[in-house]
Chains A and B, each alone.
Chain A
Amino acid sequence: MNDINTKLTEIFQEVFGDKTLVINDEMTAAEVADWDSITHISLIFSCEQAFNIKFTLAEIAELKNVGELKQIIAAKQN
């Protein structure tokens, strides 16, 4: 999970253009100013490339927070 957290932090920093951004499991889109539809798909797209996985439509649409994103990535890697 630590590897996932490190890579995911880099992805968030890149997508939101903020090198100081720190993520935590409870973080939601409401707490990140520019987290809208297009940055959401940008995050998903970057995660798919970085972790060599593919998200389903339900996972993309129903994602609740960063912790859930990490769980999905971990499950797909196993």
Chain B
Amino acid sequence: MSKEIPINTILNTKEQDYPVTAAFLAQFFERSTLLLRSQIMFLLTEREAFFWPTAEKILKLNQNIDGNPIDALLEYTVAFLREQIKFLSTGDYRYDETTFDDAFKEVYDNPDVMEAFYLEGLLVTHAFWPIHLDMHRFFEESFLQQLKQEESLGVELGFGHGLYLFEILDKYPKTKALGFDISQYSLAYANKLLLQNGIAADRFDLALGDVREPLSFDDSTLDWCVFAEVLEHIPTPDFALREIARCLKPDGLAFITTAINSNAIDHLWHFNTLDEVTAMLNANNLEIVALKELPLADYDSKSKDPTIDCAFVCKPLV
């Protein structure tokens, strides 16, 4: 339903270097008459240098586990937008601090959501949603490149699809990773993503776990921690952050992200402002060393969507 776009010209120049992405986009533009078209055109014109290699990497990861990325991306996007429209009308998220168990039952423990589109859809948004691509660039530049080359140990809490674990394990052959997630479907998906994309089984150990409970690490033992897109999903964000600060070594780093005024099929903790998030980090013994604020309005000033994503690199307050 949007204006005709000379997409083929762009794809022809890129298909040799990025064949998987070029094929994906050709099919996507054939299929989607409106959804995400302007956002992807933005990526092709304004984020060209980072977009193509990132999209190719993510689509190949997905291809190696037999994904169906166009359907997953569209379904994840539609599910998000449906919730955001309800939020614009009511001001409320789908769940609240008292209904986490409902979110668990209806989303995290539901194969019709997790396996059908959620994990794969969220994975590919890191290439095809401008706001998530920029967040991924911040992850690479401000967190991933700062980690140590030597032997190290870290954890991801709420790893979901496993993309961040892949990035860390792929870049640093001497690091080992642990991971906890509340969803059996995340556990199966992330294990498959890592194993089928060349990460040796003895370099990571993923398990079911619940960040509402204490972490099973001694104080000051972790070199890094990833806690991405989890804060807005849990009823005890302060406790989880304090646990991260406790377990990080004094020179350890945490990558933490969340969303402000952004509903989804499983969000329950509603941050209204960036200040609320930074205050929560500081109150729970985390010092912010880098921050990226990503308001959707920066990408589309006319959009009615008030979403602001934000990402932080933190170290423990000594």
Contacts and interface: CB of A to CB of B under 8 A. Distances in A.
Interface of A: 28-30, 34-42, 45, 57, 60-65
A5 to B, nearest CB: 19
Interface of B: 1-3, 31-36, 38-39, 71, 74-75, 77-78, 81-82, 84-85, 300, 302-305
Contact of A64 (B33, B35, B302): B33
A61 B32 contact: yes
Nearest to A33: B302
A40 B303 CA distance: 12
Nearest to A40: B34
Contacts, number: 64
Given A62-B31, A64-B1, A36 B75 contact: no
A29 B304 contact: no
A77 B310 CA distance: 43
Contacts of A42: 85
Given A36-B303, A37-B81, A41-B78, 7 more contacts: A36-B300, A37-B35, A38-B304, A45-B85, A61-B31, A61-B33, A62-B31
Nearest to B296: A38
Contact of A37 (B3, B34, B75): B34
A56 B3 CA distance: 24
A55 B263 CA distance: 21
Contacts of A30: 1-3
A74 B303 CA distance: 30
Given A30-B1, A45-B82, A57-B71, A63 B302 contact: no
A36 B3 CA distance: 12
A35 B31 CA distance: 18
A27 to B, nearest CB: 9
B31 A38 contact: no
A38 B32 contact: no
Contacts of A60: 35, 74, 78
Closest 9 CB pairs of A and B: A29-B1, A41-B81, A30-B3, A28-B1, A61-B74, A61-B32, A29-B34, A38-B305, A42-B85
